[in-house]
Chain A
Amino acid sequence: MTVVDRHDIRVSGVPGAQPIVFAHGFGCDQHMWRHVAPRFEDAFTVVTFDHVGAGGSDLAAYDPVRYGTLDGYAQDVLEIVRKLDLRDVVLVGHSVSAMIGVLAVAAEPDRFDKLVLVGPSPRYLDDDGYTGGFTRADVAELLESLDSNYLGWSSAMAPVIMGNVDRPELGAELTASFCRTDPDIARRFARVTFLSDNRADLARVPVPTLVLQCTDDVIAPVAVGQYVRDAIPGARMVLLDATGHCPNLSAPEATTAAIAGFVRAGHP
């Protein structure tokens, strides 16, 4: 099993051009980027992939020890970047992949040119003097709900996207795999995601960074986005007039424009 198969890596765009790598968040897969990533194919080498446990990834590659911390996922990003021999990379991470991106860039800064964090949160749990937006009880309930009610997260999840003859662009491939998540892995990934604390890692990001924050995000509130902006040296923040945690789906135009404004400097 190669790295390419393990992550169902897809490469498009201009061969040899500056690479832009899109990393999806918890409960999603690379289809999350389908309205955004193609918009960069004119001038970039565009890479999308699935984290192990999501989408078309190789479930057999899931190792509870490796993926017991976000570092394991960051190692995967680095392996992908090395395997494809990408340099000068623009890394775009949504949700938990924002912190995975922070860890990857901090570990091997020479590979990366810029970092885009969409709806980032370095710490979901509230803490002394810090508002993450989640109480311990919230997270305990989330983990419990994943534990006890995985019917809601597995069998009931699959048919959310159904075939639709009126919308041929929803191909069979998309309906079959949209945000397909292995329930057992999702449970473990949730634990890692919602119990991590990466606040101290933010200062280690040495590349230009853009925070994309939705005005009304139930998962990562504006205050958290501001915290990330302030903690990463020189980072900027764009407040997207979008509701929800997935502007890549709910506001793809605005998301694309904000990313483009940040990364296209110096590009035609």
Chain B
Amino acid sequence: MLDDRVPCGYLSTTPDGVLVRVNATFLAWTGHRREDLVGRRRFVDLLPVGGRIYHETHYAPALRLQGTAREIALEVVCADGRRLPVLVNSVLERDADGTPRLIRTAVFDATERRRYEQEMLAATRRAEASEARAVELAQTLQQTLIPPTPPQVPGLDVAAAYRPAGDGRHVGGDFYDVFQVATDDWVVVLGDVQGKGVEAAVVTALARHTVRAAAVDHDAPRQVLHTLDQVLRGAATDRFCTAVLARLRRTDGTWRASVACAGHPLPLLRPSAGHPAPVGRHGPLLGVFPQPVFSDTEVTLAPGDTLVLFTDGVTEGRHRRGELYGNDRLAAVVAEHRGPAADVTDAILADVLRYQSGDARDDIAVVTVAVL
């Protein structure tokens, strides 16, 4: 018969799956004998358990529903127990009155294809594992760049928030640090290294440690920024950096802040009664210019005064229509929230995220310092 010579397996079954006809190719592939199959076994009986469940829940319903099922990947259990990977096409034939009459099934040997799929699957798994390691590494690295919680500072209420752009798979370029130099003498620094990823993280780590070391030797924030600038220009990187640095000292019960800026948005100072206003003077980027000049701005802080340092991920957050979040919106949120530093910080983060419909394209960092 023609059936027997075609280079694919061919079966026909009753609508219930009982084998009616089996061609020689199928028998040769599987080692089954015709007399063991025809009238005795159903097609589903030739499948291993996984295939049987798939047959029951997908293959048979699809066939009943639409009359055909195509390219179904299955394994057939051979007479010697071996599994033959196959691809199967079936059609359901109906009588004139629509009653199912016969299922015709073509079976294609898919051994090579299955091997190829297994290789692809293994490659996919390796890639996924590698990606997972990279994400873990990025997150670990990120944690070393951002203090988990700001320190407790006597007389000050300090809160910080950091949210990397995107899905957290990449190390962001924003950083901040709050550390003590001496009794009643603290440094708050917040910066933004150009770019993202491991190379940016190296520069971020360098910047953070340089500020810590320089703050011991230099009282004035501008001097600390100057040292940082020199270190960055001497380092083997093309990346530049922006930063704002505030040194907070308490003498005779009164806090004074000295603020210096390098290519960074000016922090907002909100007096206990009054509207927020930028504090400090703009300065050049770090790591770029040969003779940068930075300057300090001194302010006296009264109880209730609040200083907010932030990265451009806040003010340059973009609305769906492209409009920037901007200084005015930030100032409005700061003006409105007069609670603890954590509340002010959370309100800013929430507002800027909402503005961007929750999809921040840039890192966001905020440090809020309120005088108690």
Contact = CB atoms under 8 A, between A and B. Distances in A.
Contact of A142 (B49, B55, B61): B49
Contacts of B293: none
Interface string A24-56: 011110001000000000000000000000000
Nearest to B68: A162
Interface residues of B, number: 35
Give the secondary structure class of B's interface: helix
Interface in A132-170: 134, 138-139, 141-142, 145-146, 148-153, 156-157, 159-162, 164, 167, 170
A222 B17 CA distance: 18
Contacts of A246: 56-57, 60-61
B44 interface: yes
Contacts of B183: none
A157 B57 CA distance: 10
A142 B65 CA distance: 26
A195 interface: no
B194 to A, nearest CB: 34
B54 A153 contact: yes
A233 interface: no
A141 B50 contact: yes
A219 B58 contact: no
Contacts of A167: 65-66
B16 interface: yes
A31 B65 CA distance: 12
Contact of A161 (B44, B52, B66, B71): B66
Contacts of B73: 149, 151-152, 156
A161 B62 contact: yes
Contacts of A179: 57-58, 61
Contacts of B114: 149
B213 interface: no
A146 B73 CA distance: 13
Interface string A8-36: 00000000000000000111100010000
A160 B58 contact: yes
The residue among B44, B45, B53, B57 with the most chain A CB atoms within 10 A of its own CB is: B57
Contacts of A146: 50
B66 A164 contact: yes
B121 A151 contact: yes
A51 to B, nearest CB: 13
B358 interface: no
Given A148-B118, A156-B73, A243-B16, A218 B44 contact: yes
A97 to B, nearest CB: 13
B243 interface: no
29 contacts: A26-B57, A138-B48, A138-B49, A142-B48, A142-B49, A145-B51, A148-B118, A152-B54, A153-B54, A156-B71, A156-B72, A159-B71, A160-B69, A160-B72, A161-B62, A161-B66, A170-B66, A179-B57, A216-B42, A219-B52, A219-B56, A243-B17, A244-B44, A245-B53, A246-B56, A246-B61, A249-B60, A249-B61, A249-B64
Identify the 3 closest CB pairs spanning chains A and B, nearest first.
Answer: A145-B50, A27-B57, A245-B56
Interface of B: 16-17, 42, 44-45, 48-62, 64-66, 69-75, 114, 117-118, 120-121
